[in-house]
């Protein structure tokens, strides 16, 4: 049975669609089925009818799926394939019949009917895409794998690179000691250091990296920053007078050396986890009586400071203990100039004449350093470092609150020492103290209120 159609032309003028015969460019035609005829639709000049597409059942109408509104993201409906169920029956079509004219195109002068998207042109793969690697899908041909040297060749390359890297390092960064964590324990005798401007405390960090650490000593102790710790125990010292060996002048200080081969002279209690052996004691003083101590208490710097250095015997030796955070314990006592000096200081000062110049030493037997202790054993404690290079951060400090009294003549006796050797011009050994270092929120605890 032939199908009869009612044809109506759709024209577009100035971007607006009109129906009927009018001057302008014909964009499309649409056909309405006559009464009693099968419906059909014409797209452009290609007509869909019985000969080209199966027609729906009688009583059906052709409805078009609405296109995406203009301005939305993604491709419009005209750029997509025909959706499933393009032909709908009259019962399924939500629009009244006959179907209205097609919705206007979101593009000016565009086709009123959907069309399939144009396939994208192939483009060269990005050099950063996975397909651009050797053997990938985007690579025109697999890239040849670079040749790799043998194991012996790699070992030789590694050896030469380490050698060249070591030669390129400046002398101040070369390793001269053993490892301590990620840093190097440098032998303090290799790089000269002192208390003058050219090799003083401000220059130590160039050769000794620990000097710029965050747990350095000495520090300033302020009552407002001190925390009272009721769990701190009293400390006890048990020193054997027979352990004292020699007294010497090393150009930096006056030092008394003790035998630490076994537990003859020990310090225990307080903040210490165990027993610590006495190794040596030394002094720090200034060029006058108004300064010389390393630690400062409430803005007050004393005339001098006595340090008794101990090490933890659970480690193999003193050098091994300096690599541990709990390896060293220092008992610090302030020296204050007064009218009634402590008579026990005479024993040390009597030997000063025998060690006037650098490198001199003398026997110093039968000396008990506990005779230098003040009456009160109240103390402050914190974790810090040795105050001389390499400035290892391994010290538990016990700083006595009460100073011992010395005379001005006794301090002048210490200042009479020379920092140079006997065959060199004499230079007074004074101001052998390090300035205070930043506390960096470290806790300072006190055993007293």
pLDDT digits (tens, 9 = 90+) for 91-124: 445 555 555 555 555 555 544 445 555 555 555 5
Average pLDDT over residues 287-297: 97
pLDDT surpasses 70 at 306: yes
| Runs of H (alpha helix) within 189-243 | 204-207
Among 62, 83, 114, the domain boundary falls at: 114
pLDDT at res. 191? 82
Whether the Cβ atoms of residue 209 and residue 351 lie closer than 8 Å to each other = no
Average pLDDT over residues 125-146: 55
Tens of pLDDT, residue by residue over 412-433, are 999 999 999 999 999 999 999 9
223 and 78 within one domain: no
Tens of pLDDT, residue by residue over 175-230, are 333 344 444 455 655 688 999 988 999 999 999 999 999 999 999 999 999 999 99
Residue 209, domain member (yes or no): no
Residue 152, domain member (yes or no): no
Bridge-based pairing of strands 5-13 and 25-33 is: antiparallel
Among 114, 140, 171, the domain boundary falls at: 114
300 and 411 within one domain: yes
222 and 109 within one domain: no
> What tokens does 149 get?
């040297």
Contacts of 444 (CB under 8 A, 6+ apart): 219, 221, 225, 226, 227, 380, 381, 382
pLDDT at res. 148? 66
Backbone dihedral region for residue 109 (phi beyond 0: left; psi -120 to 50: alpha; all else: beta): left
Average pLDDT over residues 38-48: 44
Nearest CA among 47, 347, 400, 447 for reference residue 237: 400
Contacts of 229 (CB under 8 A, 6+ apart): 445, 446, 447
Average pLDDT over residues 224-237: 96
Here the CATH number for the domain that contains residue 340 is 3.10.200.10
Whether the Cβ atoms of residue 258 and residue 245 lie closer than 8 Å to each other = yes
Average pLDDT over residues 121-131: 55
Residue 241, domain member (yes or no): yes
Q: How confident is the model at residue 299 (pLDDT cuts 50, 70, 90)?
A: very high
The number of residues making up the chain comes to: 449
Q: Which helix (H) or strand (E) is 308 found in, with range?
A: strand 304-311
Q: Which of 65-74, 375-384, 434-443 has the lowest mean pLDDT?
A: 65-74
pLDDT surpasses 80 at 40: no
Among 114, 146, 179, the domain boundary falls at: 114
Number of domains in the chain: 2
Higher pLDDT residue, 57 or 401? 401
Q: How confident is the model at residue 47 (pLDDT cuts 50, 70, 90)?
A: very low
Contacts of 258 (CB under 8 A, 6+ apart): 243, 244, 245, 264, 265, 278, 279, 280, 281
Q: How confident is the model at residue 147 (pLDDT cuts 50, 70, 90)?
A: low
- The pTM of the full predicted model, rounded to 2 decimals, is 0.61
Residue 93, domain member (yes or no): yes
pLDDT at res. 179? 41
Please give the Cα distance from 328 to 317 (Å, whole number): 11
Domain containing 292 equals: 215-446
Residue 132, domain member (yes or no): no
Residue 224, domain member (yes or no): yes
Higher pLDDT residue, 107 or 310? 310
423 and 308 within one domain: yes
Residue 244 pairs in a beta bridge with: 258
Q: How confident is the model at residue 391 (pLDDT cuts 50, 70, 90)?
A: very high
Please give the Cα distance from 71 to 66 (Å, whole number): 15
Residue 173, domain member (yes or no): no
Please give the Cα distance from 414 to 292 (Å, whole number): 11
Residue 143, domain member (yes or no): no
Q: What are phi and psi of 409, to 5 degrees?
A: -70, -35
pLDDT surpasses 70 at 288: yes
Nearest CA among 392, 442, 386, 437 for reference residue 219: 437
> What tokens does 55 get?
């027609």
| CB-facing half-sphere around the CA of 121: CA atoms within 13 A | 2
110 and 219 within one domain: no
User: What is the residue-wise DSSP string for 417-434?
Assistant: -BSS-TTS---B-----P
pLDDT surpasses 90 at 72: no
């Amino acid at each position: 049975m032939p199908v009869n159609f009612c044809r109506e032309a759709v024209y577009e003028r100035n971007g607006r669609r009109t129906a009927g015969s009018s001057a302008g460019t014909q964009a499309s035609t649409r056909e309405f089925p006559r009464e009693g005829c099968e419906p059909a639709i014409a797209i452009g000049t290609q007509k869909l009818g019985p000969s080209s597409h199966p027609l729906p059942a009688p009583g059906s109408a052709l409805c078009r799926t609405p296109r995406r509104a203009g301005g939305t993201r993604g491709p419009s409906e005209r750029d997509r394939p025909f959706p499933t169920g393009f032909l709908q029956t009259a019962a399924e079509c939500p629009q009244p019949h006959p179907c209205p004219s097609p919705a206007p195109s979101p593009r000016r002068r565009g086709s009123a009917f959907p069309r399939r998207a144009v396939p994208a042109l192939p483009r060269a793969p990005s050099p950063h895409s996975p397909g651009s690697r050797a053997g990938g899908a985007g690579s025109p041909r697999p890239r040849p794998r670079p040749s790799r040297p043998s194991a012996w060749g790699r070992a030789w390359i590694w050896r030469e690179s380490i050698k060249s890297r070591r030669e390129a390092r400046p002398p101040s960064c070369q390793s001269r000691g053993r490892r301590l964590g990620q840093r190097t324990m440098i032998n303090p005798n290799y790089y000269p250091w002192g208390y003058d401007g050219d090799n003083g405390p401000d220059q130590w960090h160039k050769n000794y990296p620990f000097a710029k650490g965050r747990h350095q000593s000495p520090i300033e102790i302020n009552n407002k920053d001190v925390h009272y710790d009721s769990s701190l125990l009293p400390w006890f010292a048990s020193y054997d007078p027979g352990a004292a060996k020699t007294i010497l002048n090393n150009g930096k200080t006056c030092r008394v050396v003790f035998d630490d081969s076994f537990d003859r002279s020990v310090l225990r209690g307080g903040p210490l986890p165990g027993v610590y052996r006495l190794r040596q004691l030394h002094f720090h003083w200034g060029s006058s009586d108004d300064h010389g101590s390393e630690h400062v208490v409430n803005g007050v710097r004393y005339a001098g400071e006595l340090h008794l250095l101990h090490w933890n015997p659970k480690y193999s030796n003193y050098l091994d203990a300096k690599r541990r955070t709990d390896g060293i314990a220092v008992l610090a006592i302030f020296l204050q100039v007064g009218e009634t000096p402590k008579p026990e200081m005479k024993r040390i000062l009597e030997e000063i004449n025998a060690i006037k110049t650098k490198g001199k030493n003398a026997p110093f037997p039968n000396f008990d350093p506990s005779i230098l202790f003040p009456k009160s054993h109240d103390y402050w404690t914190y974790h810090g470092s040795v105050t001389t290079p390499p400035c290892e951060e391994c010290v538990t400090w016990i700083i006595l609150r009460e100073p011992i009294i010395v005379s001005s003549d006794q301090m002048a006796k210490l200042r009479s020492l020379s920092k140079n050797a006997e065959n060199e011009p004499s230079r007074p050994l004074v101001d052998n103290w390090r300035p205070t270092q930043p506390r960096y929120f470290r806790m300072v605890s006190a055993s007293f209120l």
